[in-house]
Chains A and B, each alone.
Chain A
Amino acid sequence: DAKTTQPNSMESNEEEPVHLPCNHSTISGTDYIHWYRQLPSQGPEYVIHGLTSNVNNRMASLAIAEDRKSSTLILHRATLRDAAVYYCILPPPFNSGGSNYKLTFGKGTLLTVNP
């Protein structure tokens, strides 16, 4: 899997926007960018993914740099419930057999949200 670099921790205030960065300078043209988060005492959960264009869903937005060497997960209004470890992952391109369909997690970014 292509390597990603994330800050170890970030801090935010409630109801303010949060921008979580991820560097992936060795990304290939077919690598999707996935974000998962892990709330305390829970398994990771899917947040968002994208390839080239910016993506929005009900949880977050994903802004992808034009050269695709970095991306930013945007939480528009952080809540206390958003305090979690956020993982930026570049899984291998999906093959027809599915044998490489797996996620490799780094240490992620620990987001603290202050009331």
Chain B
Amino acid sequence: EAGVAQSPRYKIIEKRQSVAFWCNPISGHATLYWYQQILGQGPKLLIQFQNNGVVDDSQLPKDRFSAERLKGVDSTLKIQPAKLEDSAVYLCASSLLTGWNYGYTFGSGTRLTVV
């Protein structure tokens, strides 16, 4: 089966600019997650979708970050305006909502550098 697709692979922007990341999960996976991974740390959950509804966005900085999942399939994560501290890898993951067997499948991520 195809994996989780993310684009772009790399992005460099200046602070105060906006940026968007795209994720296409594995077909049939109801749950989609966006994680932020700062260098040297483990991934941190930003937002969780179940189909096209938000389940948990408690750690999403809503003043500058937004995310949507139209039609319960693809998702986009946007940052506007970006800050230097947003430099990180943004990971998308998806899972079948059938319990903990086999867990998540992650994409390779988008590496964002804010200068």
Given contacts A34-B100, A99-B50, contact A43 B95 (CB under 8 A): no
Chain A residues whose C-beta falls within 8 Å of the C-beta of B108 in the assembled complex: 41-43
Q: A44: which B residues are within 8 A, CB to CB?
A: 43, 91, 93, 104, 106
CB-contacts of A88-107 with B (<8 A): 91, 94, 98-99, 101-107
Query: Are B44 and A101 in touch, CB under 8 angstroms?
Result: no
B104 is contacted by which of A94, A103, A106, A108 (Cβ under 8 Å)?
A103
- Whole-angstrom distance between the alpha carbons of A42 and B48 in the complex? 20
Total A-B residue pairs with C-beta atoms closer than 8 Å? 65
Counting chain B CB atoms within 10 Å of each CB, the highest count among A34, A42, A108 belongs to A42
Q: How large is the interface on B (under 10, 10 to 19, 20 to 34, 35 or more residues)?
A: 20 to 34
Report the interface size class on chain A: 20 to 34
Is B55 in contact with chain A by the CB < 8 A criterion? yes
Which A residues lie within 8 Å of B56 (CB)? 99, 102
Q: A43-B91, A102-B56 are in contact. Are A87 and B42 (CB under 8 A)?
A: yes
Task: Please give, as numbers and ranges, the residues of chain A lying within 8 Å of B100 by CB-CB distance.
Answer: 32, 34, 49, 91, 94, 101
CB of B115 within 8 A of chain A? no
A106 close to B45 (CB less than 8 A):
no
Chain B residues proximal to chain A, CB less than 8 Å: 4, 30-31, 33, 35, 40-45, 48, 50, 55-56, 91, 93, 95, 97, 99-109
List 25 A–B pairs whose Cβ atoms lie within 8 Å, in order of A's numbering.
Answer: A32-B100, A36-B103, A36-B104, A42-B108, A43-B4, A43-B91, A43-B108, A44-B43, A44-B93, A45-B105, A45-B106, A49-B103, A87-B42, A91-B100, A98-B50, A98-B55, A99-B55, A101-B97, A102-B48, A103-B45, A103-B103, A103-B104, A105-B35, A105-B44, A107-B42
